[in-house]
Amino acid sequence: MAETRYTKDHEYIRIEGDTGIVGITDYAQGQLGDVVFVELPSIGKSVTKGGEAAVVESVKAASEVYAPVSGEVVEVNSELEGAPGTVNEDPAGKGWFVKLKLKDPAELEGLMSEGEYQNYVKTL
């Protein structure tokens, strides 16, 4: 079973072997409102933990999506270019952003678990 970890900036990373699927949480999409555009990185790009991995735009705001951990972009969800609303409809599933090949799995340790994240959201 895949394990999912969370950041305080509301990104998730779902671990599948040595890769992780990155997206934004349901809470984040709710805060953003209707997503109208997603800017994705190019495949092969190296991202560092906390660095910009993508940009998500609603009508009124543009927000950076930060990489939860360091790694190399191996796949991007190009479906989002034509259907950015998928981020709102299914953030944890079809609305994912990028797949990263993890550089250092130890970086996952600093991230929140599902339960910890849900408690964190309650404090906001």
Give contact residues for other proteins (rule: CB under 8 A). Answer: 34, 36-37, 39, 57-62, 84-85
Provide, rounded to whole angstroms, the least separation between the CB of residue 74 and other proteins.
22
Provide, rounded to whole angstroms, the least separation between the CB of residue 83 and other proteins.
9
Distance (Å) of CA 100 to CA 20, 87, 88: 5, 18, 22
Q: Which is nearer to other proteins, 60 or 122 (CB)?
A: 60
Cα 60 to Cα 26: distance, rounded to the nearest angstrom: 18
Q: Please name the residue that has the structure tokens 């495949």.
A: 43
Q: Which is nearer to other proteins, 18 or 59 (CB)?
A: 59
Q: Which is nearer to other proteins, 57 or 75 (CB)?
A: 57
3-state helix, strand, coil in the chain (%, to 5): 25, 40, 40
